[in-house]
Amino acid sequence: KNEVEQSPQNLTAQEGEFITINCSYSVGISALHWLQQHPGGGIVSLFMLSSGKKKHGRLIATINIQEKHSSLHITASHPRDSAVYICAVPRGSGGGADGLTFGKGTHLIIQP
């Protein structure tokens, strides 16, 4: 069973700050997911990555497969980035059971 740990659990920052959220997992995986959930809202997939780095707008996700660690960065943070950011990994070894095991999430608040 893969254990997913995220840090920090809560993060409050000022608008414009550079944000980093970390995720570590215990068992080797085929890919790691970063997702976003707004209060009372649905879950949106931000990234799925298996190596290196991906960028989308002001969001950057990196992964180090050897160290079993991933980071999500937000540049020039804005109050609309306030949400819960969740790291998730496939339950199985990649052969078919791709349902996700989720971390507990990072509650991010960006103050104007």
Partner 1 sequence: EAGVAQSPRYKIIEKRQSVAFWCNPISGHATLYWYQQILGQGPKLLIQFQNNGVVDDSQLPKDRFSAERLKGVDSTLKIQPAKLEDSAVYLCASSLTRAETQYFGPGTRLLVL
Task: Name the residues that contact partner 1, by CB under 8 A.
Answer: 30-31, 33, 41-45, 48, 86, 88, 90-92, 94, 96-105
Nearer to partner 1, 103 or 110 (CB): 103
Closest distance to partner 1 from the beta carbon of 99 (Å): 4
Q: Quick check: 22 and 103 in contact, CB under 8 A? A: no
Nearer of residues 6 and 77 to partner 1, judged by Cβ:
6
User: In the chain, what is the straight-line distance between the N-terminal and C-terminal CA atoms, in Å?
Assistant: 40
As measured in angstroms, the least distance from the Cβ of 101 to partner 1 is 7
69 vs 91 by CB, closer to partner 1: 91
